[in-house]
Structure 1
């Protein structure tokens, strides 16, 4: 069961200002980053911090039409398409890639999917980059909950986390988000979002009767 109270709207007038704000915040955090730290492995397996930034830029440039063309070109392989996008947007110098982010700060384009996916991208990729670098950010919990609500209803094949969430009662401690049935796992909306998005989280970030096994299964994915 899912209660939607406490979650923000996924209307364009709500989502895009949040996404634009997150892009600006990411730019501000990365602008002073020393050259050596750009090679830091991100939370996204196989990608470093620079790779994730290139992916963020690529996603911001995506339109409904070119998304379909790209999928056809990649033979419907999302991973292959993402790799091509990273290669296209990643420059030799991180400062130049950051200029690419500056150029898309206010874009409102995206693939043919729910606008909630733009929130998922902003928050999850923001943490893919920040956590390994030791950068902390407080995200707006109500908008994180909107992203989380989308993820728990979307299959992993489509980039969601429905299968990861199944069998657990997920309870956000900073919003009224509740989802599912089973052993209770409590944590911030951000921690739960990262978990169902296949990212590692710390043992201190979740609690409840189901937390130990939940964490173990995350590690074994």
Structure 2
């Protein structure tokens, strides 16, 4: 399966399972700093429909800060659209993305979407049900490809990583970090919430890279 096909299949799965979430679930603070789960969903919609020109204008309006512009766009959309409405739009955009959603590399979009999905599930103490192929693809990208929005490449440097629930490992030398694939994806994306679920002599080093920095909003 190509990465683009994997992205579409993952989006279809998320769209289906997220439909079971209720108002209280969407209102919970996500693992993405200062965003509710509702805001995270709005961000995913914006990523599939916002054009470069609109994004650039928003950044200029917020003093050149991508993070502030990104947060403002997500909150504005979430304030005017219910989770149900946003899910409906996301479901349509899966097949007809516009703007940045058409040109952003699919392997980075897959990582962005799964990282944010984990922001939602872990925030409400739900076990993620993401296919092994998808989490493995995200981990492969995280450790190999610098991403301007997710500092996972930097966070993983010099560590020996191993997923305990799927056949995935990275690195032959260095301190060891082990955990479930979804937990590794989340922590490498600078979400410290799941650090306690990881094991190994490299967890302290990874924590030092994750905790002092402000959480980045992927994508």
Please state if 1:104 is matched with 2:96. no
TM-score (norm: length of structure 2): 0.78
Structure 1 residues 112 and 179: CA distance shift in structure 2, 3 A: farther
In the alignment, what sits opposite 1:172? 163
Show structure 1 runs of 5+ residues with no match: 1-7
Give the structure-1-normalised TM-score.
Answer: 0.78
Partner residue, 1:118: 109
Alpha-carbon distance in structure 1 between the residues aligned to 2:73 and 2:182: 26
Residue of 176, 183, 186 corresponding to 2:175: 183
Give yes or no for the alignment of 1:202 onto 2:194.
yes
Unaligned runs of 5+ in 2: 214-219
- 1:51 and 2:51 equivalent? no
Q: How does 1:121-160 map to 2 (within 5 A)?
A: 121-155=112-146, 157-160=148-151
CA change 1:72–1:104 in 2 (3 A) is closer
Deviation of the 1:220 alpha carbon: 3.1
Q: What is the root-mean-square deviation in Å for CA atoms of aligned residues?
A: 2.6
- How many residue pairs end up in the alignment? 205
Separation of aligned partners in 2, 1:71 and 1:101 = 18
What is the CA deviation profile of residues 120-152 of structure 1, one whole-angstrom value per residue up to 9, with x for unaligned ones? 122111111121112222211221111122222
SS of the residue 2:33 aligns to:
coil
